[in-house]
Chain A
Amino acid sequence: MEPARGSVKNRIRQLRFERGEMTQQELAERIGVSRQTVNAIEGGKYAPSLEVAFRIALVFAVPLEAVFQFDPDAR
């Protein structure tokens, strides 16, 4: 079996900017995680659970795919 490829990209930094420079701390408090976790998600170092992903989308009032995109060719 071939190893799985692809990675999850996100637009959280852009969306925070568009919401009046919402800070990572503010987003973290609204979705119930630490600021370090938001930083890790934003930097692509941590793919969040579906529940956390939905909470982030809910904060920005956008569909899930407007926040997260799957790039099947990325390694």
Chain B
Amino acid sequence: MMSSQAVTREPRPGASFEERSVWIQLVGVALALGAYFVVAGWMLASGITILPAFAGVFVVAVVLLVAILVGGHLVAALVGRPEPADVRDHEIEWRAESRTGWILATGVIGAIGALVVAVEPVWVAHLLLLSLYLSELARLGLQLVYYRRGI
């Protein structure tokens, strides 16, 4: 048997297509929904509390998100060969989801509580959206930690 010192070490491979995809999702969500919250926060501070008034801004944010996701994945596919997610990718996603799901759950419970005390719908809607935003950022961030640090 050869000694372990004789065994050549392969260079660490670059990020997989799935890991790049997580980066793209993180950037997309952070930028598009982050921009929405900046504008929505400004509108709320200005006293606008009619929910339909936010629809246009939200549609623009969703279009921006889709554009970042499509463009990002096209670039990622050109840089490296796309590969389907494997067992490790699924496990990383599942672990990150199971550790961050409480953020969205807290937002949902908070929204129900807000409805009970008759808070305006615009605040309830934004509480739900904010908890979804934070939950997604946490999940995607944790996935990247798992990709780098290992699980």
- Contact between chains at B8 and A37 (CB < 8 Å): no
Instruction: Count A-B contacts at CB 8 Å.
Output: 60
- Contact between chains at A17 and B87 (CB < 8 Å): no
- Contact between chains at A34 and B7 (CB < 8 Å): no
A30-48 residues with Cβ-Cβ distance < 8 A to B are 32-37, 39-40, 43-46, 48
Residues of B participating in the A interface, judged by any CB pair closer than 8 Å: 1-2, 4, 6-10, 12-13, 15-19, 83, 86-89, 91, 149-151
Interface residue tally on A, bucketed by range: 20 to 34
Contacts of B13 in A (CB 8 A): 24, 35-36, 39
Q: How far is the CA of A39 from the CA of B12 in the complex (A)?
A: 7
- Contact between chains at A36 and B87 (CB < 8 Å): no
A14-B149 CB under 8 A given contacts A36-B15, A39-B13: no
Cβ-closest 10 pairs across A and B: A45-B150, A36-B16, A33-B86, A17-B7, A37-B88, A34-B16, A35-B13, A13-B7, A34-B86, A36-B13
A73 within 8 Å of B (CB atoms): no
Contacts of B17 in A (CB 8 A): 34
A46-B88 CB under 8 A given contacts A36-B16, A40-B150: yes
Contacts of B86 in A (CB 8 A): 32-34, 37
Q: How far is the CA of A24 from the CA of B151 in the complex (A)?
A: 19
- Contact between chains at B87 and A52 (CB < 8 Å): yes
Contacts of B9 in A (CB 8 A): 13
A21 within 8 Å of B (CB atoms): yes
Contacts of A24 in B (CB 8 A): 10, 13
Partner of A39, one of B2, B7, B8, B10: B10
- Contact between chains at B88 and A33 (CB < 8 Å): yes
